[in-house]
């Protein structure tokens, strides 16, 4: 067990169950969200303290975990007059577990070092179900000693914890993984549309794919659990998926390498977001976009 108390910031779809796994280990925990109702609800549920502001506990913790939507928000929480860089005690470990931009992470890790703090990026894969079961795949960027120090806590939330390399490489690996994952989903949706048009029931086609060489996480989990039943309720928003795809696009463009398939999936997903009528679509609605544009329903067969 990690002796120092941990402060968990960002109690949304992922943060809430992740904080729950830390609390259940007996680790001393504080939880905080910009939404005071979320802070209160999670603190009550986990029987831990939910401070009204970060300053109240900043000096009492040895580790801070961030599970926030974007790098801009991470920067706001850490930098500036009211930012945590100025409030935490020396030696505090900061772990950014959200899917942030590698460039921003590298800059923040440098600033943390200048303030005698330790910084690690440790984004996750596996979505809400693995966050609940504590079986996330965690990819770590940072100095080896810092990654080792983070491991005790990360093991409470993840099944695999892999150090990728220096600061920012965890976030780079996460964005590239999600670009591939979204490309798999788009490709499956295209094949399902065509299958439907030649008279194959989508549920049967998914069964065929899952017994064959083209199966993927999209065909094995997303279709059966969130698409064929038209619930579109994975808990991972399309906007967050698009953020990951955009980060991966900029990594590809800065490498000057050719990657036409995954880049066209990013363009397509942006178009899908503009086309879909829901105000905050789930990422699995990428399949619904094909149902709309190809006029083929995958569900209700
Ligand atoms: P979410 O939108 O459900 O939750 C984000 C939480 O952060 C919200 O409760 C929000 O109120 C809080 N927040 C926003 N600004 C804040 C601030 N300044 N201070 C404190 N709290 C603040 O998002 P999520 O789905 O839990 O995702 C969180 C991160 O994890 C994102 O970076 C996302 O890309 C990544 N991620 C999500 C999934 C998924 O399946 N949902 C999977 C892997 C990675």
Structure confidence at residue 270 as a pLDDT band (50, 70, 90): very high
Residue 296 banded pLDDT, cuts 50, 70, 90: confident
**Looking at residue 174, what is its pLDDT?**
98
Cα separation, 176 vs 182, in Å, equals 10
Nearest CA to ligand 1 atom 25: 13
Residue appearing with tokens 């969130």 = 226
- Cα dihedral 68, 74, 76, 82, rounded to 10, equals 90
Question: Residues lining ligand 1, judged by CB closer than 6 Å?
Answer: 9-15, 33-35, 38, 67-69, 73, 76-77, 98-99, 124, 127-128, 235-236, 240
* Residues with catalytic function: 174
* Mean pLDDT value of segment 70-81: 96
14, 94, 127, best to mutate for ligand 1 pocket (most atoms within 8 Å of CB): 14
Q: Is 136 helix (H, G, I), strand (E, B) or coil?
A: strand
Residue 140: pLDDT band (50, 70, 90) is very high
Query: Average pLDDT over the chain, rounded to whole?
Result: 96
What pLDDT, in 10s, does the model give residues 39-48?
999 999 999 9
Residue 3 pLDDT = 62
- pLDDT for the residue 48: 97
Q: How many helices (H) and strands (E) does the chain have?
A: 14, 8
Ligand 1 centre to CA of 237 (Å) is: 10
Q: Which residues contact 6 (CB under 8 A, 6 or more apart)?
A: 22, 27, 28, 29, 30, 61, 62, 63, 64, 65, 153
Q: Which pLDDT band, with edges at 50, 70 and 90, does 193 fall under?
A: very high
Q: Distance from the CA of 203 to the center of ligand 1, in angstroms?
A: 32
Of 13, 82, 226, 239, best ligand 1 pocket probe by most atoms within 8 Å of the beta carbon: 13
pTM above 0.75, yes or no: yes
Tell me the C-alpha distance between 95 and 66, whole Å.
6
Q: Among positive and negative, which fits the CA dihedral 223, 225, 226, 229?
A: positive
């Amino acid at each position: 067990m990690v002796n120092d108390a941990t402060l968990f910031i960002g109690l949304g779809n992922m943060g809430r169950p992740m904080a729950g796994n830390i609390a259940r280990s007996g680790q001393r925990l504080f939880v905080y969200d910009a939404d005071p109702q979320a802070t209160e609800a999670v603190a009550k549920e986990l029987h831990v303290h939910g401070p009204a502001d970060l300053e109240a506990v900043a000096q009492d913790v040895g580790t801070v975990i961030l599970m926030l939507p974007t790098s801009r928000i991470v920067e706001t929480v850490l930098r500036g007059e009211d930012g945590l860089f100025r409030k935490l005690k020396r030696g505090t470990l900061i772990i950014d577990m959200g899917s942030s931009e590698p460039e921003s992470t590298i800059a923040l890790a440098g600033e943390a070092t200048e303030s005698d703090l330790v910084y690690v990026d440790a984004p996750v894969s596996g979505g809400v179900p693995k966050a609940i079961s504590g079986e996330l795949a965690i990819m770590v960027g940072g100095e080896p000693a810092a990654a080792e120090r983070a491991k005790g806590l990360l093991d409470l939330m993840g099944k695999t914890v892999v150090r990728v390399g220096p600061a920012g490489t965890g976030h780079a690996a996460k964005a590239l993984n999600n670009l591939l994952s979204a490309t798999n989903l788009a490709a499956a949706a295209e094949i399902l549309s065509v299958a439907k048009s030649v008279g194959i029931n989508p549920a049967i086609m998914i069964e065929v794919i899952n017994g064959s060489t083209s199966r993927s996480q999209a065909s094995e989990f997303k279709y059966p659990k969130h698409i064929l039943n038209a619930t579109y309720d994975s808990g991972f928003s399309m906007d967050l998926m698009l953020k990951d795809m955009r980060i991966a696009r900029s990594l590809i463009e800065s490498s000057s390498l050719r990657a036409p398939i995954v880049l066209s999936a990013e363009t397509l997903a942006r178009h899908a977001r503009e086309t879909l009528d829901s105000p905050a679509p789930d990422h699995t609605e990428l399949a619904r976009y094909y149902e709309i544009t190809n006029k083929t329903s995958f569900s209700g067969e």
